[in-house]
Amino acid sequence: MADPITEQFRAANAGLSKLVRDELEGFFGTLNLAKPEAVRNALLEFVPLLVSEYGSVAETLALDYYDELRAASGATGVFRAIAGADGIPGSAVEAKIRYLAKQLWTPDPASMLGGLLTATDKYVKQPGRDAISYNAKREGARWARVPTGAKTCSWCLVLASRDAVYLSKQSAGDRRGTGKGDAFHGDCNCAVVRIGKASDYPPGYLPDDYLAMYEAARADAASGDIKDISAAFRRLHPDAVTDAVHTH
């Protein structure tokens, strides 16, 4: 179980995700899917605005969360979390929409919505995650990727096994330094937690256990590629992840 501050932050983000999902589903439902070009153009106008609006909310939540975590840790000195990351480029959002919009010209144009919801959730949450890592770097603190809920996916557990080693996005890679440690997928509930000292670790965060599982998966995969390791993780630890592969 996460500490109360992190749990409150997680719940706030879950509420934000629901607002975004409801608004996007509602807008998509008003579109005439028999006119794919018009639908694509409408989404190109609507979704970036949605991401910008709610991304700002996610960033504000994260800044307040960071200051609360820091105060709870007993950190001294004058410091206040500030916005500093650039956020998700509008061009990246538009490119994703254009890619997903190919489904509008298929016999099942409504299938576009699933991928769009997932991508939008990721884009909305990213400014908040960036705000935490940015301020940790400003302060010289580390941060940890902390899974929430009874189970999480293998990708997230592999990255959580790194413990509180992240000082910046550059250092947030897998063990080969590929820069994937700060990669979050859509509908990801991992929390980014400031770690200034040992007592800042949230209750239930078990990086040593995750590391042992990671090392077994890496040995089984016989590869340093994080995708191969995640696949092995799903096979070896099916009861620990949401995307398990059960073998008989």
Q: What is the pLDDT of residues 31-63, one digit of tens each?
A: 999 999 999 999 999 999 999 999 999 999 999
CB 48 within 8 A of CB 92: no
118/153 Cα distance (integer angstroms): 15
Higher pLDDT pick, 179 / 53: 53
User: What is the distance of C-alpha 29 from the center of its chain?
Assistant: 26
Helix (H) or strand (E) holding 195: strand 191-195
Residue ranges of domains in the chain: 1-141, 150-188+206-248
19/23 Cα distance (integer angstroms): 6
Q: Kindly report the number of other CB atoms within 10 A of residue 86's CB atom.
A: 9
Q: What is the pLDDT of residues 58-113, one digit of tens each?
A: 999 999 999 998 898 888 888 999 987 677 888 999 999 999 999 999 999 999 99
DSSP state of 142: E
